[in-house]
Structures are given as structure tokens and as C-alpha cells.
């Protein structure tokens, strides 16, 4: 409309308030986008079915069909679930935001809104959408999404890659068939992809999360599984994305699975994820020394959270030098599955006083 072909995106504004819709349309047209406006939920769904947009700006208070139902239908349909949705509404109750996020909304802006904020959030989500559209191969999608997730917080830089390395080293040492390593690697790289939907204020909060905030955080497992389950080449990784916070004693989430129901690759990923979460700096604490991290892993295995055989094997991997320190002052480790496969056994590291472990679980970044 207002830009050369190929340089604009199709954006749907769904708002029954003509002044608000006109303002959003003006702002987005000025950005060079093609803009369509729908005044109710039924009209919006009809347009989406005929002309799937690149981004939807959605009011919640709509006639005929409210924004919640529009969001639910868009995010539950395989053909449209990857279309990003920004909720724009006068409802400022925390319950409204939680409900919208649970239905799959990608962002939330409260009226009266700032035009610059709308532009910035649209640009961010359109950038993610473009990555999905432009990169068809599973490998490209995996790495693009992993980078996008980690870019949301300075504290998660390199987390998925490190978890993938630890998981592969543990898998090799434990004897997981090598033809399953690639699936494990993809699952590790994608396991936190659902955190794209978690607000930065929660990811980077230096204080403990409230119960409501933790409920939002827990949704990243479901959101992540939903985001990639339509990609045929990574469907085998979906259980790792959905279940990496499950516990063998049934106390995990989102499905409360017990031991036998949790696949081996998910258990391997959980050990690697918890270790890196503990060993890395977080907004509410510094990195925990590796010896103490291993002690916490053993404690979690003793309590029934983690697989005891895998924890013991991971401790052997660390003690045998099958992981090595990375540079830049990081206290994290880089693992080599080839070295792990070639070397077996090794003494366990010395124990550490359990009383020195953190008093609160690291619920944001992997630990139980």
C-alpha cells in the first residue's frame, strides 16, 4: 500500500472502536505495511481464513465473537497458529492478561497505548515471523528460534547450546544410540522456545515469582510444543519441549507425568537443563559452583525429581573431564559427546554440604 512490493507485511487490526482502529491503521501504514481492519470477531476470522496476515492486533471486547475466542481459534489451528497476536485492550486486570497468554497471545498492550510501543512490538514479532517464513529447513528454524529465545534475556545467552552439549555428552556416556543424538540435540535447542511468550518482566525479575507469575512461566512448555508441533521434521523433539519440567515423582508440569511415562531423552535433557540453570548467572543470584551444582543434582535424584542413574552418569562425565570450561569468565561448561563416547567411568566428584544449596528452586530456568 505505502511501500514497494516485498517490503511490507499484511497486518490485521481487529477493533470495534473506529478512532482506535483508525489510529492503529495510520501508524502501521506509515511503517509501510498493508493494513486491514475488522470490526468484530466473526469478520476477523473470515478475513484470516481468506488472507492469512503476518500479524494480528486484537482487541478483547468485540461484538459477535470476543477477542479471547478469536485468539483461541487462531492459535489452535495448524495453518494459523504461528501468526503472532498482540492483544490491545482497555482491560488491565491481571486475569485478562493471564487468560490471553494461556490462549496463545504473543504480546499485550494496554489502552491508551503509545504509538512508538506499538511500532516496536510489531517490528519485533514481525522479525520473528519473517524468520519462520524465510527458513524452511528444520535446522534453520531450530537455530533461529533458539537465538530469538535467548535474546529475550541477557541471562539466557548460550543456555540452549550449552544444554545441548551437556545432553549429548551424557547421552553418549549413558549409551543412548547415536542415531537418536540429532533428535536430542534439536529438543535441547528448542526446549525453551515457548519463553518467547513469557514477558521480559517475569524472565528478568530479580525477586521470587508470585504464584500468578509462575503460572505464566509454566505455560512456556505448552506454548513451545504448540509452536513447533506442526513442523514435521522436529516432531520427535516435541516431548522434550513439553515435558522437560516433568519429575519422576509426578510433581512436575505441565502433565504431572510419573517415571515410566517420561521418555529417556526427556530425562537426559532435564539433568542437563537443571545443571546449566544452576551453574549460570541469573537475575536473582550469581552462578553456583559446579561442585555444589552436582550436589544439588544428587539431592534432586534422591528426592525423586531426577533420574538417579543419569545424575550419577553425569557426575562421572564431569569428573572424567569430558566437559571443559569455556572462556569469557563463564562458569559454564562445554561438553563433547565424542569424548564421552570414547571414555567410560571415572571417579565421582567430592560431595558438597546440601545445606549450602539454594533455599528456593530455580523455577524460571530449569531447576525444580
Residue carrying C-alpha cell 531450530: 142
Contact in structure between 35 and 5 (CB atoms under 8 Å): no
pLDDT 10s digits, 299-341:
999 999 999 999 999 999 998 887 754 333 334 444 444 433 3
**Extended strands (E) in the chain:** 10-14, 34-38, 55-58, 85-89, 107-110, 323-325, 333-335
CATH of domain 10-134: 3.40.50.2300
CB-based contacts of 341, cutoff 8 Å, min separation 6: 172, 173, 178
Task: Pick the range with the lowest mean pLDDT from 103-117, 288-302, 350-364.
Answer: 350-364
Q: What is the pLDDT of residue 361?
A: 45
- pTM for the predicted model, two decimal places: 0.57
Identify the band that residue 295 occupies on the pLDDT scale cut at 50, 70 and 90.
very high
Identify the band that residue 91 occupies on the pLDDT scale cut at 50, 70 and 90.
low
Task: Pick the range with the lowest mean pLDDT from 135-139, 141-145, 228-232, 262-266.
Answer: 135-139
Mean pLDDT, rounded, for 179-204: 91
DSSP-assigned states of every residue in 272-302: HHHHHHHHS-BTTB-PPPHHHHHHHHHHHHH
Q: What is the pLDDT of residue 92?
A: 66
Residue carrying C-alpha cell 489451528: 77
Q: What is the pLDDT of residue 134?
A: 65
Mean pLDDT, rounded, for 73-99: 85
* Grid cell locating 73: 481459534
Whether residue 25 is predicted with pLDDT greater than 90 in this model: the reply is yes
Whether residue 255 is predicted with pLDDT greater than 80 in this model: the reply is yes
pLDDT 10s digits, 102-161:
899 999 888 888 899 999 999 999 998 887 776 555 567 666 777 777 776 777 888 888
CB-based contacts of 321, cutoff 8 Å, min separation 6: 346
Contact in structure between 47 and 39 (CB atoms under 8 Å): no
Contact in structure between 336 and 164 (CB atoms under 8 Å): no
Whether residue 368 is predicted with pLDDT greater than 80 in this model: the reply is no
Mean pLDDT, rounded, for 37-45: 96
- Count of positions (residues) in the chain: 368
User: Which is more confident, 323 or 180?
Assistant: 180
Give the distance from CA 338 to its chain's centroid.
28
Tell me which of 1.10.3210.10, 3.40.50.300, 1.10.1740.10, 3.40.50.2300 is the CATH number of domain 138-356: 1.10.3210.10
Q: What is the pLDDT of residue 99?
A: 86
Q: Domain-by-domain residue ranges, the chain? A: 10-134, 138-356
Whether residue 231 is predicted with pLDDT greater than 80 in this model: the reply is no
Amino acid at each position: 500500500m505505502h511501500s514497494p512490493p516485498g517490503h511490507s507485511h499484511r497486518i490485521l487490526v481487529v477493533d470495534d472502536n473506529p478512532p482506535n482502529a483508525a489510529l492503529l491503521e495510520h501508524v502501521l501504514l506509515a511503517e509501510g505495511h498493508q493494513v486491514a481492519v475488522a470490526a468484530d470477531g466473526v469478520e476477523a476470522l473470515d478475513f484470516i481464513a481468506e488472507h492469512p496476515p503476518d500479524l494480528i492486533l486484537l482487541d478483547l471486547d468485540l461484538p459477535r465473537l470476543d477477542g479471547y475466542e478469536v485468539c483461541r481459534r487462531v492459535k489452535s489451528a495448524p495453518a494459523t497458529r504461528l501468526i503472532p497476536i498482540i492483544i490491545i485492550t482497555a482491560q488491565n486486570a491481571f486475569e485478562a492478561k493471564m487468560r490471553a497468554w494461556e490462549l496463545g497471545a504473543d504480546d499485550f498492550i494496554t489502552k491508551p497505548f503509545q504509538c512508538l510501543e506499538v511500532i516496536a512490538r510489531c517490528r519485533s514479532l514481525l522479525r520473528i515471523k519473517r524468520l519462520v517464513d524465510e527458513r524452511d529447513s528444520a535446522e534453520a528454524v531450530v537455530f533461529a528460534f533458539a537465538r530469538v529465545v535467548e535474546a529475550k534475556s541477557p541471562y539466557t545467552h548460550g543456555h540452549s547450546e550449552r544444554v545441548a552439549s551437556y545432553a549429548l555428552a551424557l547421552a553418549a556416556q549413558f549409551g543412548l544410540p547415536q542415531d537418536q543424538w540429532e533428535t536430542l540435540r534439536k529438543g535441547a535447542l528448542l526446549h525453551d522456545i515457548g519463553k518467547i511468550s513469557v514477558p521480559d518482566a517475569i524472565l528478568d525479575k530479580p525477586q521470587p515469582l508470585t504464584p500468578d507469575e509462575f503460572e505464566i512461566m509454566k505455560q512456556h512448555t505448552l506454548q513451545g510444543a504448540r509452536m513447533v508441533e506442526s513442523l514435521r521434521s522436529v516432531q520427535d523433539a516435541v516431548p522434550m519441549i513439553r515435558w522437560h519440567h516433568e519429575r519422576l515423582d509426578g510433581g512436575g508440569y505441565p502433565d504431572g507425568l510419573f517415571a515410566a511415562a517420561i521418555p529417556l531423552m526427556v530425562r537426559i535433557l532435564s539433568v542437563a537443563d537443571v545443571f546449566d540453570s544452576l551453574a549460570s548467572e541469573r537475575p536473582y543470584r550469581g552462578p553456583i559452583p559446579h561442585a555444589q551444582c552436582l550436589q544439588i543434582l544428587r539431592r534432586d535424584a534422591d528426592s525423586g525429581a531426577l533420574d538417579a542413574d543419569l545424575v550419577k552418569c553425569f557426575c562421572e562425565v564431569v569428573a572424567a573431564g569430558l566437559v571443559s570450561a569455556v572462556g569469557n569468565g563463564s562458569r559454564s561448561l562445554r561438553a563433547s559427546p565424542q569424548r564421552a563416547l570414547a571414555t567410560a567411568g571415572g571417579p565421582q566428584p567430592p560431595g558438597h554440604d546440601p545445606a549450602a544449596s539454594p533455599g528456593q528452586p530455580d523455577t524460571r530456568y530449569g531447576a525444580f
